[in-house]
Amino acid sequence: MCGISGIIANRPAGVLKDSVERMTGKLRHRGPDAGGIFQEDGVALGHRRLAIIDLSSDANQPMRDASGRYILVFNGELYNFRDIKLMLPEYNFRTNSDSEVILAAYGKWGTRCLDYFNGMYGLAIWDRQEKSLFLTRGRLGVKPLYFRHDGDSLTFASELRAVLAGMDQAPRLNKNGVLNYMMYQSACAPETPVEGVQQLMPGEYAVFKGGKLEQHLYWNIEDARHIEPDRQAIHKTVRQLLTESVQRRMISDVPLGAFLSGGIDSSTIVGLMAECTAQPVHTFSITFREPDFDESRYSALIARRFNTRHTPILMQAGDFLNSFPDALRAMDNPSGDGFNTFLISRVTKEAGITVALSGIGGDELFAGYSSFKRWLALRKHWIWRIPTALRSTAGLVLLAGNSSKFERIAGLTAAPTPGIEYIYPAIRQVLTLHRAKKILRCQDECHDMMYELLAARKKGFSKLPVLSQYTAAEMLGYTFNVLLKDTDQMSMASALEVREPFFDYRLIEYVLGIPDEIKYPRYPKSLLVESLSPLLPDEIVHRPKKGFTLPWNQWLRTELRQWCQEKLTGLAQRPEFNGDEIGNIADRYFNHAGNNNWMPVLQMAVLEDWIERNLP
C-alpha cells in the first residue's frame, strides 16, 4: 500500500520536481518506508512506499520496466500477480514484487492488462516513447485516485490534499460536491469538494496524451451473468470464491491480522483465514464497558473457536474524544463517518500489524441491511397505483411539514416509477436535495449525483435480479463513496493496509447473478451463512445485530459542543452558505427544539474544519 502522485505539464523541470516533492510529502503517512521521484521533460512522478510484497529496495518506486520505456507508480495490491507472472515467461524479472508484474503485463497487453488483474489499485504508467500517461483504478474503487485536467496539464494523486499541493492556483470549493456531501455523507464520484478536481470511477481507466484526456470504463458492476437457481451449486461456488478471495489477501511479507467484531462478516473472514493457514490468526476487536455497545462476548467466542491470537482493546469515551483531533487531521475528504476505523487502525498498527483483513462489504453483497427489504416493499407499495399527478400534489403537502422525513416521503410520492434511481437515494439520504439547497447557496447548478448515476445506468441495472439491483446501487453509492473511502483514509493515516475479501470482483459478479429466491435473507445473510455451514456457530448467526455507533448526539451537546458551535459559526459566515439556515439548524439542535438529528450538525462542523485545513 502506498501513495502516488504526478504532474504532466509544460513547466520548467525544477518547478515540476518541487511540486511533486510537495505532493509526495503530503502522502508520507501512506508510505513511511521509502520515497522516490522520476522526472524528465514535461513529467514528474512521485511515490511513497509501504512495503508489503518484496521488502527489498529493488522493489521501490517509481519503477522502470526492463526496457526502460515504461515508468510505474502504483498504490495497492495485485492479488493474483504470481498467476500473471507465469503468463509472462519472456520477461526478465528483477524483483519478486507485484509492481514489476504490472509493468510487464502492460508492456505485453497494453490497456488489456486490466482484464487479467485481480486486486485493489490506483496506478499510473508513463510511456516515455509515446509521451502518454495511463491511469486506472480497480473495479470496485477500493483504492483512490484523484486528478485535475487543466488545459494541457494533468495532476494526479492518491489523495485530494496531494493534488491541492500540486496545483498552481488557489483551490475553490465545488458547490455541487459539497451539496452531495450534505446529502450522502460524501461528495459523489466523480466529483470532489474541490472545483476542477475529480476521481476516476470504479473500473475506469484514462489515457492522457497531447493535452487530451480520454476516459473509458473497462468493467461494469451491472454486467453480471444470470445464475441458475441450483441452491447446492450456488452454496458451493460462493464458498469457493470467498475462500479463494481470503487466500489471495493473505499473501504478505509483513505481519498480518484481522478485525474481529464478532458479527457474521468479520467472523466469516477470520474463520476462513484459520482454514487457510496453520499459524494462529492475529485478531483485534474494540470492546466497551457499556453493554449496549460491547460485543466482546461474540468476538471472544470466535477467537476461541478458531484459536486466534486475540487482542481485545477496551475503549472508553475519553479515548474517542482524545483521538478526535487526530481523526479530523487524518481526513483527506470530509466525512461524517470513519472515526471508528481510525481508532481500530491505530491500535492495530501499534500492535505490530501492517496488513489487516476486514469483513466490510458482507452486508451490501448478501442483503444484510434492513433497507433491502424496504426496497422490495416500496417497489410493490399500493401508492404506485395512484396517478403521478395526484401523488405529486400529496408530495407538496408533505413538503409543508418542514422535516427531512416528510421531504423524503414527498420525493418518493412524486417519483414517476418505483425505480432504483428514486428509491435508493430516498433511503440513503441524510438530507434531501431540497433541504441541502437551503443550506448551500445553489439552485440550478446543483444536482443529485447519486440519482443521475443510477438513472444513467438504469438499463443495465434492470437486467439484474431485484435484490441485486439494490446491491449494485449500494456498491456505487454508500459503499464506494463513504465506506471504502473512509476505510482507506482512516487506516492509511496509521500506515495500515486494510484488505476486504468481500470486494473480490469475481465473487461480486457471481453473487449479483443469483436469483432473488435464493439470495433473499430469510434470516440475516442466510445465503452467506448456509454457503459456509458449519463454519459459524448459531450464537453468531442469530445474535442481535449491533452497529458500531458512537454517542454523537450526547457528545455534540456536551464535550464537543464548543468545538461544534465554533465550526458552525465559521461555516455560516462563508459566502457559499446560507448563514441564517445554518443558524436555525444549530439553534433547534442545541436547544432540543424537536431536532435530534445530529448527523447534519456533525457533517457541517466537520466540513468547516476540513475547509479551514485545506482551502485557506
Q: Please write the tens of the pLDDT for every residue from 324-346.
A: 999 999 999 999 888 889 988 99
What average pLDDT does the segment 163-188 reach? 95
Is the model's pLDDT at 408 over the cut of 50? yes
Average pLDDT over residues 134-151: 96
Q: 8-18: buried (b, 16+ CB within 10 Å) or exposed (e) per residue? A: bbebeeeebbe
Measure the CA dihedral 201/205/208/212, to 10°.
-60
Query: What is the H or E stretch that residue 429 is in?
Result: none
Distances (CA, A) of 347 to 112, 218, 315, 316, 493: 40, 38, 11, 14, 12
Instruction: Tell me the pLDDT band of 400, cut-offs 50, 70 and 90.
Output: very low
- Count of CA atoms in the C-beta half-sphere (13 A) of 87: 16
- Cα 195 to Cα 205: distance, rounded to the nearest angstrom: 21
pLDDT at res. 406: 62
Confidence of residue 547 (pLDDT cuts 50, 70, 90): low
CA 539/CA 532 separation, integer angstroms: 15
**Closest to 239 measured CA to CA, from 527, 610, 564, 611:** 527
pLDDT of residue 390: 72
Average the pLDDT over 563-568 and give the result.
96
pTM here is 0.95
* Tens of pLDDT, residues 196-226: 999 999 999 999 999 999 999 999 999 988 9
Average pLDDT of the residues in 371-378? 92
> What is the predicted pLDDT for the residue at 328?
95
Asked whether the predicted pLDDT for residue 309 surpasses 70, the reply is: yes
Q: How confident is the model at residue 294, as a pLDDT?
A: 78
CB within 8 A of 122, min separation 6: which ones?
4, 74, 75, 76, 136, 137, 138, 143, 144, 145, 158, 200
Whether residue 397 is predicted with pLDDT greater than 70 in this model: the reply is: no
Residue 600 cell numbers, joined: 447534519
Round to the nearest angstrom and report the end-to-end CA distance of the chain: 30
404 pLDDT more than 70: no
pLDDT at residue 19 in the model:
96
In CATH terms, the superfamily for domain 2-219 is Aminohydrolase, N-terminal nucleophile (Ntn) domain (3.60.20.10)
Give the Å distances, CA to CA, from 121 to 158, 181, 297: 10, 24, 36
Query: Higher-confidence residue: 137 or 549?
Result: 137
Kindly give the pairing relationship between strand 153-157 and strand 34-40.
unpaired
**pLDDT of 380 strictly over 80:** yes
Residue 168 has pLDDT above 90, yes or no: no
Dihedral in degrees, nearest 10, Cα atoms 256, 260, 266, 271? 70
CB 47 within 8 A of CB 469: no
Q: Beta partners for 501?
A: none
User: What's the CA gap between 142 and 475, in Å, rounded?
Assistant: 11
Cα separations (Å) of 493 from 239, 326, 329, 486? 33, 9, 9, 11
Active site residues: 2
Domain map of the chain by residue range? Answer: 2-219, 223-367+485-541, 370-471, 552-614
Q: What separation in angstroms does the CA of 446 have from each of 119, 176, 420, 442, 452?
A: 35, 5, 21, 6, 12
The CATH number of 223-367+485-541, from 3.30.350.10, 3.40.50.620, 3.40.630.40, 3.40.50.720, is 3.40.50.620
* pLDDT in the model for residue 314: 84
In this predicted structure, what is the pLDDT of residue 207? Answer: 98
Distance CA 336, CA 334 (A): 7
Instruction: Read off the pLDDT of each residue in 548-567 and give the average, rounded to a whole number.
Output: 88
Over residues 230-243, the pLDDT tens digits come to 999 999 999 999 99
The pLDDT value recorded for residue 395 is 54
pLDDT band at 478 (very low <50, low <70, confident <90, very high): very high
CA distance 343 to 149: 35
Which is more confidently placed, 393 or 318?
318
Residue 137: name the closest of 190, 62, 64 by CA: 190
